[in-house]
Amino acid sequence: MGVENQNHRSSKGTTYVTVDLHCHSDASDGYYTPAAVAEMLADAGVGVASLTDHQTLVGLVPFHDVVTRHGISHIVGAELHAMFEGNVIHVLAYGFDSDHSALRDVLPVPAGARRLIEAVHEAGGIVVLAHPLHTAWKGAELEEKIEQLVELGLDGLEAYYKPYSPDEQEYLVGLADRFEIITSAGSDFHGPNQPGTPSPGVAMPVQRWKQFREALGDHARNGIGGKGDKPDEKLVQDPHPGTINWSWLLLRIVVPSLLVIGFFVALLFGALIPTIENILVERKREMTTELTNSAWSILRDYHREAETGSLTEAAAQEAAKERVRRLRYGPDEKDYFWITDMHPRMVMHPYREDLEGSDLTEFTDPDGVRPFVAFVETVREESSGFVRYVWQWQDDPDRLEAKESYVRGFEPWGWIIGTGMYVDDVSAEIDRITRRLMDASFIVTIIAAALLLMVAYQSLKIERKRSDAEAEIRLSHERYRALVESSTSGTLLLVDGRCTYANASLLEVLGYSATELAFLDLHDIVLADDDQTHEYLDLIAEGNEIREPFDARLRKKDGQTVAILLSATSVFFSGRRAILLSVQDITRHRAKQSDVAREQLIAQLQTSLLFLTEPVRDSMTPPHSCTLDTPVDEAVRIMTREGVDGLTILSPSGDLVGIVTDHDVRERVVAAQLDVHRPVSRIMTSPVVTIYESSPVFEAMMLEREHGVGRLAVIDAGEKLVGMIKSARAVQPDRYSVVVLTQQIGRSRSIEELIECREKLPFLISSLLESGALARNICHVTTTVSDAITERLISLVVDEIGPPPCRFAFVALGSEARREQTLATDQDNALLYQDSTSDPDSAAEYFLELGERVCDGLAKVGYAYCKGENMAKNPLWNRPLAQWKRYFTEWIAEPDDKALAHCNVFFDRRCVFGDSSLVHELWNEVGASLAEHPAFFAYMARNTLQYKPPIGMFGRIVTGSAGEPRNAFNIKEAMLPIVNFARLYALQHELEDTNTFDRLERLDETGVLHGDNRHAIEQAYGRLMQLRFRHQVHLIESGRPADNSIDLGTLTQIDIGMLKHTFSQISVIQKKVTFEFHGTS
């Protein structure tokens, strides 16, 4: 029976936890199966267990499945043998990666202690000396050897070894403290086959257990191959049914019985019958030999009579022949003897008198054997022996049978006498014996089968009872697991005071994985601020209900705490009392209030945000200029005549070099009492802060604030002056959240503050969409926020690691460079720095650290790592300017698929932070290289044509391709043909624009696109971008991550019609690419 709680106190007040970190199964030298051992541990009330079989891991999976079902935390373990100082020692390895190659290398055979400890550490585990007092050393020598092992990396001693006395355990604890290593606890349970074996479960002081747990750290495993962290997807309504352990039944009952029967049959036919057959044949041969010898003695007797003169030799031979002719033996008295001479000729044959006197040299049997010649050869070589051949059956000349005869020479007369046995006689006798044995074995088999059925039936009844009990346990397991998982609030299941299960909501708040949580108890994660709360927590840990919610604090993995409301309900889990905790974050209602306020703010902003996203060209005024040498008084007259309060100053070549305003005149001339005839170059402000005409108004406002100026010069893509804007006249910046947001970003001092700022972006985008803002303007907002976050991160990192050793540029790539970022985006960036540096290695190290920390920060804020690793943290894309030039030169000169893939990313570039002149210098080099290799554009065109819009032959939108859901398409990939088209032609015509909308405008201006075509493509791209933003905002508002997979079922017929028309426009521009670069349409 299980105990109510594994935590208990001794009379001295020490709190203990019941663990067993040392037990064995029949996978090594134990008696019980791993599953049976796990059941016994559960019955013993063990809370944490490790199966430590000798030199093997085969029992881990079945052991894990059962212990976790009982709510027992599982640590991967094994008992390994090591050679140390000429002796074998046993060590316990815990928390290792069971698939690690280093560990597998030391499993088969004992390794040296140093090698074994290193292998376990390499596999992520820790090493504890098992039963230290069972080693070859005692007293001071033992302490000396332990000290040497500690120097090799030993992590602990098995001090709480159950067979040891309390004094012995305290002695080992003292040794562990002296050497500053941990302690472990185990029973070394093997089963009933080991005399005096201890029962499972060991009481270990909680403080010692926590030290052991901390030593394991992230190496602890509450499962095999990650099973411990996988949620159970089965529902309570469909629990896993109890099943009979047929494997156990077959292996333990059926298979042994069948093996016994099989062994008996194999012994019968493989050994017994062949042995009997050999004995019978030998007996027959012995009999044949003796009979022949007896007949031979007759010849000898007659020869003696001839020698004594009693008979003449002829008479003696004739008498001997007749005497042998009459000899018979065998069951029917038909077996006989015959005589030949050494020629050979037949001297006498009782059944073949026709052969007597005949020359038998050429006589052969049906198999071609010349038997009589063989008789002669045998006698000449060995004087006697056996010969096998075919002969007639006794006195029946029509029947031929195989025969084996024994022949012996009688040298005085030159005769050979012999007799034989028929092979079929022997076979018939063997068959008779075999049939008798088979009849006996059949009877034995029937009896054994009956016994087997009786045993199997009894075992099946026992197994059914066990499986029914297991089904009930599993049902309880699944029911409470599902209950915990299904709860929307934080829910935790405590078994014996330990955290057995928590749902995803609570795990996310805590920051622990399911594996890590399984090794914690209630007091590890819930803290009390007063005595009353502490008392409540103690009651809950002991298995008592506290239904009335009370205040407590939840301690997260990072040490931070969260105020919570806690309540506890008693349940039964796997036959033991358990507690179901409900954990509610009391700050949740504050978040709801914040959501309401945010919605109100969005409603207020919707009417004003639209203006902020309009391009500055719609709000700028025409530029009024004068030259550098224009007198101040003349400049004032021009401003008065034109009704403006400022003039731009141009150089003789027409370049913008400064600006002068009426404020400058008042402050720098009138107040300073300067001569009004001096040239304006003496009082102008330089350099002038500029903004591109396509930039939104809110960007102009931010630039004014950043640089502390009242107006900006507006330039076109060729950096030609086209106007002036003074945004402060038109709007009040503090009213608009996009400006406020970037200001907050600029003031942020930590990653956490930047995350808060980034989380506001989706709500701004939602307002812009509802306000009817253009897609290109929405992209400006997302990119501006991204740029601001990147700039702030770089500033924070530079503050931490010190100033850069030389000039550098942090460059945005891809969609961020094009100012077309959406809400589902990853990082694409690079870093280049000045070539000339006194210490290139230090510079490389500095900028790589800068890139790594900035990219890591962006990932934390919400900009995922690039899957293709096109980031400044990648040493490949964090290089000096000269290397970057080589990169582009190589890609353009040898445009293979990999080079073109890089071009699609790196040809869209924009300096976000640092010295933009480095980027300009690089791009000048790229332009020169493109001019030298015009064939590059044909390769790039072919690459552009690989991206097709998802439209079928009959105008249907194609869904379910490239891993998308069945009724969905990827809108990002659908937009790529337009992006690639604009990039291709912009590069070919040496346009420096990176934004797709800007590129299309410039291509219209250069005549590459006609006005109608340009507007159609621009509208198509804008509609796709608008739909993409709408989809992503909807997902975020629904609590799901943003993506680019559009389900056609969520679109209206108008949307689908728009998509089809848009995709047809993409097909038109791809035909243009095909015709102009490949000569076909």
Dist. CA 338–CA 328, nearest whole Å? 11
Q: Spell out the residues 6+ positions from residue 824 whose beta carbon is closer than 8 angstroms to its own.
A: 972, 1032, 1041, 1042, 1043, 1044
Q: Spell out the residues 6+ positions from residue 859 whose beta carbon is closer than 8 angstroms to its own.
A: 827, 865
**Crossing angle of helices 775-801 and 697-707, rounded to 10°:** 30
pLDDT of residue 515: 74
pLDDT of residue 278: 81
pLDDT of residue 1079: 62
pLDDT of residue 737: 58
pTM above 0.75, yes or no: no
* Consecutive H or E run containing 583: strand 576-585
Query: For the segment 527-560, what is each residue's pLDDT rounded down to a tens digit?
Result: 988 888 888 888 888 888 887 888 888 888 888 8
- Residue carrying the six token digits 């996009």: 738
Dist. CA 901–CA 795, nearest whole Å? 31
Q: Give the domains, in start order, of the chain with CATH numbers.
A: 7-229 (3.20.20.140), 239-471 (3.30.450.20), 487-579 (3.30.450.20), 774-933 (3.30.460.10), 935-1078 (1.20.120.330)
- Residue carrying the six token digits 């017994």: 272
Alpha-carbon separation of residue 516 from 24, 75, 76, 525 (angstroms): 25, 11, 13, 12
Q: Are 775 and 995 in contact (CB under 8 A)?
A: no
**What average pLDDT values come out for the chain (1081 residues) when binned by 10 residues?**
45 76 92 91 90 93 87 91 92 92 85 93 94 92 94 95 94 94 94 74 92 76 40 34 52 70 76 79 86 91 91 91 89 86 92 88 86 91 90 73 89 93 75 78 77 72 62 51 53 79 82 80 86 87 82 88 84 70 67 48 47 75 92 92 89 90 87 88 90 84 80 86 72 55 88 90 82 82 93 95 94 93 92 86 94 95 92 95 94 91 91 92 91 90 85 75 80 91 91 90 86 84 91 87 88 81 84 79 52
Q: What percent of the chain has pLDDT over 70?
A: 87
pLDDT of residue 570: 78
Using a 10 angstrom Cβ sphere, with 0-12 exposed, 13-18 middle and 19 or more buried, the burial of residue 509 is: middle
pLDDT of residue 529: 84
Dist. CA 812–CA 231, nearest whole Å? 39
| Token pair in block for residue 420 | 């034989």
**Crossing angle of helices 936-945 and 971-988, rounded to 10°:** 160
pLDDT of residue 954: 63
Q: Which amino acid is at 263?
A: F
Cis bond before residue 733 (omega within 30° of 0):
no
pLDDT of residue 850: 96
| Token pair in block for residue 432 | 């008779």
Other CB atoms within 10 A of residue 480 CB: 23
Query: For the segment 791-823, what is each residue's pLDDT rounded down to a tens digit?
Result: 999 999 999 999 999 999 999 999 999 999 999
pLDDT of residue 266: 79
pLDDT of residue 402: 82
Dist. CA 47–CA 39, nearest whole Å? 12
Across-strand partners of 826? Answer: 864
pLDDT of residue 959: 83
Dist. CA 127–CA 147, nearest whole Å? 14
Instruction: Kindly state the DSSP code that residue 710 receives in the 8-state scheme.
Output: S
pLDDT of residue 856: 95
Q: Are 1022 and 772 in contact (CB under 8 A)?
A: no
